[in-house]
């Protein structure tokens, strides 16, 4: 009996080590808790993030141990990537946003339009009848397809009324990045310098790749099998994140 217990404990130990290695160096699951990336990411989406995409920092590991100061094997992220990062305020909370500003870039909102390096970001109207969530509130929005200077395309939403209008110029410092939520009027992001602000390259955790599971908790609990048709968003399974 003692031998069986020891063997089981060893198996569990090795399984935990393997899981830790996979989570730290290869891929990690994340859960979307807020509406800031609607319509592309919904509350209840579970997605995989690749940890190796931008190299490794202390934030690649559980509890962010101070084992080294800078990033190892650093690969620069591309404008438009959807990225998980640790917020600069506490270096502990995970946020997921879209990378808009690279080091040295200038970002500004003028009359509700986004400008990058003094050039207006092109956006093409896709719908004027959409609704998205902001917490428990349902917002009436216009949906656009935005196109960045590297031809990266993605959907964003703006409030029909009282959308974010004007801002100061944000000049991204060296080794830092500027992020925005795709739900532009329901996102705490780099526009808010006291809560998020510019994000240092060492705070990058990984690149969001695809959704592997998704549920809408407003339609029930996972153990309520009879509610699965409305609870589980089967159409979002294995959806690539653009």
Of residues 97, 187, 190, 207, which has the active-site annotation?
97
214-219-223-225 Cα dihedral, nearest 10 degrees:
-90
Strand residue runs (E) in the chain: 27-31, 45-50, 82-86, 94-101, 106-110, 113-116, 119-120, 122-134, 137-147, 153-159, 170-171, 176-180, 199-200, 204-214, 239-240
For this structure, is 36 an active site residue?
yes
Q: Provide the 8-state DSSP code for 2.
A: H
Say if CB 134 and CB 158 are below 8 A apart: no
For this structure, is 128 an active site residue?
no
Of residues 34, 36, 57, 214, which has the active-site annotation?
36
Which SS3 state, helix, strand or coil, does residue 170 take?
strand
Which residue from 101, 50, 32 is spatially nearest to 206, judged by alpha carbons?
A: 50
Spatial separation of the C-alpha atoms in residues 137 and 86, rounded to whole Å: 27
Number of helices (H), then strands (E), belonging to the chain: the values are 2, 15
Give the active site residues.
Answer: 36, 97
């Amino acid at each position: 009996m003692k031998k069986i217990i020891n063997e089981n404990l060893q198996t569990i130990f090795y399984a935990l080590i393997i899981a830790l290695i996979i989570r730290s160096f290869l891929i990690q699951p994340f859960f979307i808790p807020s509406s800031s990336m609607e319509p592309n990411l919904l509350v209840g989406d579970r997605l995989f993030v690749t940890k190796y995409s931008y190299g490794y920092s202390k934030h690649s590991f559980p509890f962010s141990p101070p084992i080294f100061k800078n990033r190892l094997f650093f690969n620069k992220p591309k404008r438009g990537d959807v990225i998980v990062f640790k917020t600069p305020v506490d270096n502990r909370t995970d946020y997921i946003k879209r990378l808009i500003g690279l080091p040295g870039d200038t970002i500004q909102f003028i009359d509700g339009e986004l400008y990058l390096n003094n050039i207006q970001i092109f956006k093409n109207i896709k719908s004027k009848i959409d609704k998205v969530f902001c917490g428990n509130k349902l917002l009436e929005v216009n949906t656009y397809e935005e196109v960045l200077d590297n031809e990266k395309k993605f959907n964003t939403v703006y409030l029909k009324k009282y959308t974010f209008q004007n801002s100061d110029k944000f000049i991204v410092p060296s080794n830092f990045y500027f992020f925005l939520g795709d739900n532009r009027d329901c996102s705490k992001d780099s526009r808010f310098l006291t809560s998020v602000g510019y994000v240092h390259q060492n705070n990058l955790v990984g690149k969001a790749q695809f959704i592997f599971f998704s549920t809408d908790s407003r339609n029930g609990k996972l153990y309520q099998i009879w509610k699965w048709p409305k609870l589980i968003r089967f159409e979002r399974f294995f959806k690539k994140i653009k």
